[in-house]
Amino acid sequence: MYTIIMSLIMTIMLSTIMMLMCIFVSKKNFLNREKMSPFECGFTPKSSPRSPFSSQFFLIAVLFLVFDVEIVIILPMISSLKSANMTKWFMTSTMMIIILLVGLYHEWENGVLEWTN
């Protein structure tokens, strides 16, 4: 128990010290209008330098990450097929696939996968 408490205290102290070092060492950035505007040979910019971000793209990217992580979880299950209990392996695989399909159906019903909204 003593080792766990000491590890926790050391972790908290180390992270606090690193955060304080970042605050003191970091470059102070004073933002003003001139520094934040894009440079176009001394002229005023003709258009906005930043295009609007599509929230639809963000949702599709998050869905991709979720399915990507699930595939990373499912792939080792194939190699454990030889040494695992078949009933437990089949139930685990089935539950993972059902959870993925229910999530996909939920996203589809909410219209997240529609690009023409």
Query: pLDDT tens-digit profile of 18-28?
Result: 999 988 887 76
Does the structure show a pLDDT above 70 at 73? Answer: yes
Does the structure show a pLDDT above 80 at 62? Answer: yes
Cβ-contact 93, 79 below 8 angstroms:
no
Q: How many residues does the chain have?
A: 117
| Closest of 72, 71, 66, 56 to residue 110, by C-alpha | 56
Report CA-CA distances (Å) from 35 to 30, 38, 111.
9, 8, 41
Query: pLDDT tens-digit profile of 75-116?
Result: 888 888 888 888 888 888 888 889 888 988 988 888 777 776
pTM score:
0.47
Does the structure show a pLDDT above 60 at 117? Answer: no
Q: Give pairs for 102-105: CB < 8 Å, separation 24+.
A: 103/66
